[in-house]
Amino acid sequence: RSPWRTISSIEQEANGTKQQQELTTKYRQKIENELKVVCHELLTLIDKHLIPKAIATESQVFYLKMKGDCYRYLAEVATDSERQKLAEESKHAYKNGFEIAIDQMAVTHPTRLGLVLNFSVFHHEILDETDVACRMAKEAFDAALAGLDYVSEDSYKDITLIMQLLRDNVTVSIHLFNYFLYNHLFLIKFRQIWTGNQSEFNDTDQPDEQ
């Protein structure tokens, strides 16, 4: 996915010759096709073999997270007509894993935290629901922080690493939310000023308001 994101950015910003743009597009499509093949192979393995045989709660949650990840990757590179269906499949897998994790796993369990982390990324990147992503990540971080005193030394490093990623996502989400809120308020203010100026031009005999 990282090469796909890089080449997509290059393609969008390309100012080169037509031949260079065609080569960039062709390479992006090649990466997309390879990604699709790998994801579909993984989904077949997960649905037909891994999930049906998963008995332990940790395994069930892990495979559902993996399933949600695969559909999220596919949705990221899909066209608008396919994107919604793939997003629904991803959300369904994440939600099923999330419900099992909430019910049966400790708030500090790395697999549970990993699922919440990726589920929040899904809400932010695919559904454009920054507020949901931020709330989900913050709740998981706060709950895990309260339970850190009870974790073993072996898992402490893994847990705190995922918690750091959750906190980073919350920070990014807040910055993005504030950015869009600022721009939204700016547009409202600009519209009010513009409308007021138009009224002055169109209706100069109107009395001033106190």
Kindly report the pTM of this predicted structure.
0.74
Q: Quick check: 9 pLDDT over 90?
A: no
Per residue in 192-201, pLDDT (tens digit) is 554 554 444 4
Domains identified in the chain and CATH numbers: 1-105 (1.20.190.20), 106-193 (1.20.190.20)
**67 Cβ contact partners less than 8 Å away, ≥ 6 residues apart:** 43, 46, 47, 51, 93, 97
Distance spanning both ends of the chain, measured CA to CA = 59
Q: What is the pLDDT of residue 198?
A: 45
Vertex 142 angle, CA 60 and 66, to 5°: 25
Per residue in 63-79, pLDDT (tens digit) is 999 999 999 999 998 98
- Cα–Cα distance, 34 to 78 (Å, whole number): 13
- Return the DSSP state at 14: -
Whats the size of the chain, residue-wise?
A: 210
Q: Are 57 and 100 in contact (CB under 8 A)?
A: yes
Q: Residues of 177-202 as b/e, b for ≥16 C-beta within 10 angstroms? A: eeeeeeeeeeeeeeeeeeeeeeeeee
Q: What is the mean pLDDT of the chain?
A: 81
- Cα–Cα distance, 155 to 158 (Å, whole number): 5
- Band (pLDDT 50/70/90 cuts) for residue 171 is confident
